[in-house]
Amino acid sequence: QVQLVESGGGLVQAGGSLRLSCAASGSIFSIDAMGWYRQAPGKQRELVTGITRGGITNYVDSVKGRFTISRDNAKNTMYLQMNSLKPEDTAVYYCNADITYYTGSNYRQSNYWGQGTQVTVSS
């Protein structure tokens, strides 16, 4: 029943900004690490940025200074603020999270993926 729902993707001109959201729902007990991945056509999926439950973050070098990851634990939601977008940022962006959920009899931890949202940056 646990799922991740993404929103905020779209088309933007180079130099513009976009904000992605990822909301987790279901019988959630807690969410540990979360992150954003992206995959361009013909390329491998890469980790763009991650964040721990306590707010510790990391970024791939290519987005440092331009992207900011954040989360609201009370809302089970993660965000990705993308500024100064470049055509090379064009990709499908995926939300990922480690979630502990309640099955009705006990707790269980699993890793989840969102469905992906397209980000296209035009020149």
Q: Quick check: helix, strand or coil at residue 15?
A: coil
pLDDT for residue 1 = 77
Evaluate whether 18 touches 9 at the Cβ level (below 8 Å). yes
Does the pLDDT value for residue 30 go beyond 80?
yes
For residues 68 and 106, give the distance between their C-alpha atoms in angstroms, rounded to a whole number: 35
Please give the share of the chain, as a percent, with pLDDT higher than 90. 96
Cβ–Cβ under 8 Å, residues 12 and 26: no
Is the pLDDT confidence value at 103 over 90?
Answer: no
- Rounded to whole angstroms, the Cα distance separating 119 from 107 reads 35
Say yes or no to pLDDT of 107 above 90.
yes
The pLDDT assigned to 83 comes to 98
For position 90, what pLDDT does the model report? Answer: 98
pLDDT digits (tens, 9 = 90+) for 81-101: 999 999 999 999 999 999 999
Predicted local confidence at residue 2, as pLDDT:
92
Please compute the mean of the pLDDT values over residues 35-58 and round it to a whole number.
Answer: 96
